[in-house]
Amino acid sequence: MSQLERTIKDLIVFYVKENYNNYLLEHNLTYIQGDELNKVINELYDSKKQHLKGFLKDSLKKLLKEDYPGDLTINNICYEIFEDDELCKNRICVEIKIHQENNI
């Protein structure tokens, strides 16, 4: 995995965790279980997918500065990442479950 790919993965995980934590705060929850977690992930993924792409571009521009590879490269990477929505949602679910277990 290239450094760029690693940075993008780390940014996505950060974004997911922050949105999950915000969801918990907004709904006065400490944990989301089972089928409810899948429902929340579907809802957040569908509503935040475009925002995440913008977050990635903006964050990479700030982090990489003159080494930023350009919007076209980032758009292509985002296209590959978000090509399979179900795979993305499943991966997010795994990350959230790990995050929940570490914060119990």
* Residue that is written with structure tokens 């700030």 in the block: 62
Count how many domains the chain has: 1
User: Which domain covers residue 71, as residue numbers?
Assistant: 3-102
pLDDT tens, position by position, 21-61: 999 999 999 989 888 999 999 888 889 989 999 999 999 99
Q: For the chain, give the percent of residues with pLDDT over 90.
A: 55
Question: Phi and psi at residue 68, in whole multiples of 5°?
Answer: -60, 125
pLDDT tens, position by position, 65-79: 999 999 999 999 989
The yes-or-no verdict on residue 1 having pLDDT over 80 is no
Compute the average pLDDT of residues 9-13: 90
